Amino acid sequence: MKFYLNILILCLMFLSSTKILAQKDSIASQRKARSLVRQGNQLYAKEQYTDASVAYRKALDKSSFYDKASYNLGNALYEDKNFKEAVPQYELSAKTATDKFSKAEAYHNLGNSLMETKNYQGAVDAYKNSLRNNPNDDETRYNLAVAQKMLEKEKQDQKDDKNKDNKDKKDQDKKDKDDQDKKDKDKKEGDDKDKKDDKDKDGEGDKDQDKKQDPKKDDKKDPNEKPKPQKGKMSPEQIKQLLESLNNEEKKTQKKMNAEKAKGAKVKQEKDW
């Protein structure tokens, strides 16, 4: 029994010493983290934001929930225009901050970072959280109004783009339909033309066939055969005879008129009452 009691005492002593060492290590880490933050602040004041970020990251390695280190790292990244990387640091700082003023500042800067990345909905939410912790901050209230206006414009632009896409789609569908209708019309006209050509060819074939079947049309005329006068027309011989007859009649008429002129003209006298 005494043996087990001694073992229990030794275990308690070992755990106590381990806890003391862990506390000493924790205290040493916190001190080192604070030293690194001060170093980062000096670099930040000299506008050496990249080097300052390195110091703040080392401080967080020593104490991961050191809210001042995360907040200052967010500021350094923001000043170095690494806005996306600054966002999670401000989120961590807002989560670990112990007083409302620190939370308000973290949310305010978070909103600024989200505005730079054009995440206007996230910025609106961040500024609202900042005002919940510090309602009297006019700068945050102004930034919130700007973020809300940008968010409204973004939604309107998205709506306009959607309407434009729908209009472009309708126009394209109409164009495709018109093109298809034109193709169908051209195809129909081509088919009708082909049918007509085939019909014409069939007609010519029938004529050729009729010509072959009618032997009279293929008979050659006798070159010595005199042309027969057509119905209603005179032959050259008849025309010649008619002209000679008319000429003889004209000569007789002229001879008679000359004889009458030789006798003298009649004079009609008025009666004397």
Q: What is the per-residue pLDDT across 162-193, written as a single tens digit (0 to 9) for each?
A: 888 777 888 888 888 888 988 888 888 877 77
Q: Of the segments 169-173, 236-240, 265-269, which one has the largest average pLDDT value?
A: 169-173
Task: Tell me, yes or no, whether 58 lies in a domain.
Answer: yes
Which of the four pLDDT bands, split at 50, 70 and 90, describes residue 160? confident
More confident residue, 269 or 249: 249
Name the least confident of 80-94, 97-111, 232-246, 254-268. 254-268
pLDDT score recorded for residue 269: 35
Task: Tell me, yes or no, whether 99 lies in a domain.
Answer: no
Task: Tell me, yes or no, whether 40 lies in a domain.
Answer: yes
pLDDT score recorded for residue 145: 97
Tens-place pLDDT, residues 131-146: 999 999 999 999 999 9
In the chain, % helix, strand, coil (3-state, to 5) comes to 80, 0, 20
CATH code for position 25? 1.25.40.10
User: In terms of residue numbers, what domain contains 70?
Assistant: 19-80
pLDDT at 93 over 60: yes
Task: Tell me, yes or no, whether 46 lies in a domain.
Answer: yes
pLDDT score recorded for residue 157: 93
Tens-place pLDDT, residues 47-83: 999 999 999 999 999 888 888 999 999 999 999 999 9
Gap between the Cα atoms of 245 and 256, Å rounded: 17
pLDDT score recorded for residue 13: 53
pLDDT score recorded for residue 12: 52
> Minimal CA–CA distance to 112: which of 89, 134, 132, 96?
89
Q: What are phi and psi of 155, to 5 degrees?
A: -65, -40
Task: Tell me, yes or no, whether 129 lies in a domain.
Answer: no
What average pLDDT does range 84-103 have in this prediction?
94
> Minimal CA–CA distance to 106: which of 84, 85, 87?
87
Task: Tell me, yes or no, whether 36 lies in a domain.
Answer: yes
- 3-class SS at 183? helix
pLDDT score recorded for residue 61: 92
pLDDT at 37 over 50: yes
Number of domains in the chain: 1
Task: Tell me, yes or no, whether 146 lies in a domain.
Answer: no
How many angstroms separate the Cα of 254 from the Cα of each of 46, 260, 272?
144, 10, 39
Task: Tell me, yes or no, whether 117 lies in a domain.
Answer: no
How many angstroms separate the Cα of 2 from the Cα of each of 75, 108, 163?
61, 64, 88
Looking at the chain, the number of H-run helices and the number of E-run strands are 9, 0
pLDDT score recorded for residue 210: 55
Q: Kindly report whether the global pTM for this prediction surpasses the value 0.75.
A: no
